[in-house]
Amino acid sequence: MSAEGSTITVRLVRSFEHRNFRPVVYHGVDLDQTVKQFIAFVQKDVPSRTGLPPPFKTYKYDTMKIIHQAHKSKTGDLVVSLEDDDKLILREDRTLKAAGVANETELAFFCEEDYRNYKANPVSAW
């Protein structure tokens, strides 16, 4: 890993229907750690974050998906793209780097069950 590590933005998605999310920026992220390790780190970090509303701190996040990478095209979806799950949802057994995460990547972190339900009926509540 380089001395400074990478900067990763994690978008905590509480509700797809209501487009309810909050970005949290992590600096110095080691891309050689596994996705599972990074998920565990974020799950442990989020409840202690000041400035996050309580519903975001206690939510059951369990899945990460790449939303945007620096210098690549950005999705037009407001919360998260419903496309390319096989490529963009991070598999826990891979390193972040192997999963396609690079410096300045933006990830969505959400409950997989909520995502599947929203994907089956992608209607916004407003």
- Cβ partners under 8 Å of residue 67, min gap 6: 11, 74, 75, 80, 81, 106, 107, 108
Name the region of 102 (left: φ>0; alpha: ψ -120 to 50; beta: rest): beta
Q: What is the pLDDT of residue 17?
A: 85
Domains and their CATH numbers in the chain: 6-120 (3.10.20.90)
| Under-50 pLDDT residues of the chain | 1-3
Q: What is the pLDDT of residue 2?
A: 47
Give the pairing type, strands 106-110 and 6-15: parallel
Per DSSP, what are the bridge partners of residue 110?
63
Which pTM does this prediction carry?
0.88
Task: Specify the 3-state DSSP secondary structure of 124.
Answer: coil
Q: What is the pLDDT of residue 71?
A: 59
